[in-house]
Structure 1
Amino acid sequence: MIALDEWRKAAHGFDCAGHHIAYRAPDQPDPQKPWLLLIHGFPTSSWDWSAMWLALEAHFNLAALDMLGFGLSDKPAAIRYSLLNQADLQEALLEHLGVGEAHLLVHDYGNSVGQELLARHNDRTLSFSLKSLVFLNGGLFPEQHRARPIQKLGLTPLGPLLGMMLTRDKLRATFDQIFGPETKASDEEIDGHWALMSENKGQRVFHKLLQYIPERKVMRSRWVGALQDTAVPLRLINGGADPVSGAHLYHYYLEQVPNADAVLFDDIGHYPQTEAPDLVLSAFFDFHRKLRTVSP
């Protein structure tokens, strides 16, 4: 992974709806390369993509932001966090960068943001042209999402206490449970994730971010329908050892999505992009070679 200090130094920022949003994108995009928008998951940040960044950068102009409440971006305590607003941020970033069409690579919480962008594309209300969409592990179907105990606690009246209770060691314990049996996160990764989660008093809003779980249920018809009725090329790359959205999600995806294109890695957990970046890159580039986005 790219060291966190280096990642911080490369961060840019823009204002959206009165909030400062941190992002990473090229200062001088290559006009010969397509754009790839990467959307991170909960509770981490765009730094999740750093293990694959350089390999992807060889073929794409990359753009990735820290969503509101995450990473280096603002974390206001007095707002209601919504996946719909996070989708607005993605559109605002591409508008800020002057991007008219892009491919997507999304993970976890970002899957739902990607589904909303896909639904907007299908409705012809999206501000850019969506060329393709690759999902990693995440709650594409709310009925298949197996929330962790700490997430369930955050949705109770005790939720505001969750940020006070969360520690670096508890984050390590949670990651150990959702990673594959042979792919534990390094201490450097845990330290980096914890630093970014704690940035800008992030513990205050941790429970607020968890509203994505009931929001997925409310939006199920729209977001699952977007998967089932689209001409946009889709692929799922899934770590099967993930207890949250692993092999059970992969098999359900095959049942629910017409002509489903999906790849399963049995021994990888919830963060395939950091647990096995080479495997994910291979499956991702295979998909894009078929689309002729990248050369053979």
Structure 2
Amino acid sequence: MPLTEIPLSAWRKCGQSFVFRGQTIRYWVAGQGEPLLLIHGFPSASWDWHYLWQPLAQRNQVIACDMLGFGDSAKPLDHTYCLLEQADLQQALLAHLRVRQPVHVMAHDYGDSVAQELLARHYEGRFQLASCVFLNGGLFPETHRAALVQKLLLSPLGWMIGRTFGRNALADSFKQIFGPATRPSESALDDFWSLIENNGGPRILHKLIAYIPQRRQQRERWVAAMQRGEVPLRVIDGEVDPISGAHMVARYRELIADADTVLLPNIGHYPQVEAPVQVLKHYLAFREGIENNQDRLWELACVGAGLPAIRAPR
């Protein structure tokens, strides 16, 4: 059964705002339960999660924001954009919402890098991460195959490319990275472009793209964190994505012991948009597996202490 779409106009009306380092950030919260932080990718925004939003909110406190420079949040022109600052932003949002318990994370693309930073901070004692699921993203710089527009934005002419980047260029780019049978409609493209264009977004695309060299700088620290194996991780990946598809998953399996990966056939770079039912199924199975493992460990602890075995507290 298909999931219900939340129109962008309705999504925007449900947003709230808070101020992060002098800049206005738009965010969304729904549901109750364990906190689940959704982190969007480049160059889009948290509306990417709209198909999954209501189903996930049935059992979680779901939280998402448009990161600095994205969507309906502030896009200051004279600013150096940094993945580490975006991780600071996620922590500031959680503090603003008074979330104090360990947080589950699901991330995509650019958001994967932010999630990797949060994972590293977890092991450094600066964040409490309960689990993390990565959707198509450049987890390893050596496997990331930049799209043409990304290469152009990284070039010395990047500032000019960004200013000339328009809705037609976005459509051409998405045509290349979505699955052949799951490309966005013209209406959806209009909405994606609305989020990019808002607040002068094209003027800063060449600044946002700095995340690609930043990934290289943090590679060893982030990979080491993923290799620790103490926080449950899963990759759910659109297989035919030319940027970070099956080839990235193959590298993940080489580097991460007992790698938990799911490949979605014929799905491209945006699985949460192209195949939300499949993503939801595999995400909920992942969380159920975590809960079952916690219950088994709790029962063993109770038996070891000579106590009756009961369900682990949530």
TM exceeding 0.5: yes
How much has 1:230 moved relative to structure 2? 3.8
User: In the alignment, which residue of structure 2 is the partner of 1:19?
Assistant: 23
Aligned mates of 1:163, 1:139 — CA distance in 2: 21
User: In the alignment, which residue of structure 1 is the partner of 2:67?
Assistant: 67
The reply on whether 1:116 has 2:120 as its aligned counterpart is no
CA contact (8 A) 1:107 1:135 kept: yes
Most deviating of 285-294 and 159-168: 285-294
3-state SS of 1:103 partner = strand
- Offset from partner CA, 1:3-46 (integer Å, 9 cap, x none): 010011000000011110100013xx53xx11100000000000
How much has 1:164 moved relative to structure 2? 2.0
Aligned mates of 1:215, 1:194 — CA distance in 2: 25
CA contact (8 A) 1:154 1:160 kept: yes
**Structure 2 counterparts to residues 133-148 of structure 1, below 5 A:** 133-148=132-147
Amino acid at match of 2:64: A
User: In the alignment, which residue of structure 1 is the partner of 2:201?
Assistant: 202
User: In the alignment, which residue of structure 1 is the partner of 2:53?
Assistant: 53
Amino acid at match of 1:222: R
Amino acid at match of 2:133: V
Aligned mates of 2:164, 2:121 — CA distance in 1: 38
3-state SS of 2:291 partner = coil
Amino acid at match of 2:93: L
User: In the alignment, which residue of structure 2 is the partner of 1:263?
Assistant: 262
3-state SS of 1:25 partner = strand
Aligned mates of 1:16, 1:68 — CA distance in 2: 9
Aligned mates of 2:190, 2:59 — CA distance in 1: 30
The reply on whether 1:90 has 2:90 as its aligned counterpart is yes
Aligned mates of 2:144, 2:75 — CA distance in 1: 25
Number of matched pairs: 289
CA contact (8 A) 1:247 1:266 kept: no
Match of residue 6, structure 2, among 2, 10, 27: 2
**Structure 2 counterparts to residues 267-282 of structure 1, below 5 A:** 267-282=266-281
- Offset from partner CA, 1:177-200 (integer Å, 9 cap, x none): 000111111112111110010110
- Offset from partner CA, 1:145-203 (integer Å, 9 cap, x none): 00011101111110111122211111011101000111111112111110010110111
Amino acid at match of 1:161: M
Aligned mates of 2:257, 2:123 — CA distance in 1: 16
Amino acid at match of 1:19: Q
User: In the alignment, which residue of structure 2 is the partner of 1:159?
Assistant: 158
* TM superposition score normalised by structure 1: 0.95
Aligned mates of 2:166, 2:136 — CA distance in 1: 24
Aligned mates of 1:219, 1:102 — CA distance in 2: 22
CA contact (8 A) 1:178 1:243 kept: yes
Most deviating of 280-289 and 163-172: 163-172
3-state SS of 1:43 partner = coil
Amino acid at match of 1:278: V
3-state SS of 1:219 partner = helix
CA contact (8 A) 1:122 1:230 kept: no
| Aligned alpha-carbon RMSD (Å) | 1.3
User: In the alignment, which residue of structure 2 is the partner of 1:291?
Assistant: 290
Aligned mates of 1:34, 1:9 — CA distance in 2: 24
Aligned mates of 1:226, 1:81 — CA distance in 2: 23
Q: Which runs of 4+ in 1 moved over 6 A?
A: none
Q: Which has the higher contact order (CA 8 A, sep 6+)?
A: 1
Larger radius of gyration: 2
Structure 2 portions without partners, runs of 5+? 296-314
Most deviating of 183-192 and 205-214: 183-192
Amino acid at match of 2:240: A
3-state SS of 2:48 partner = helix
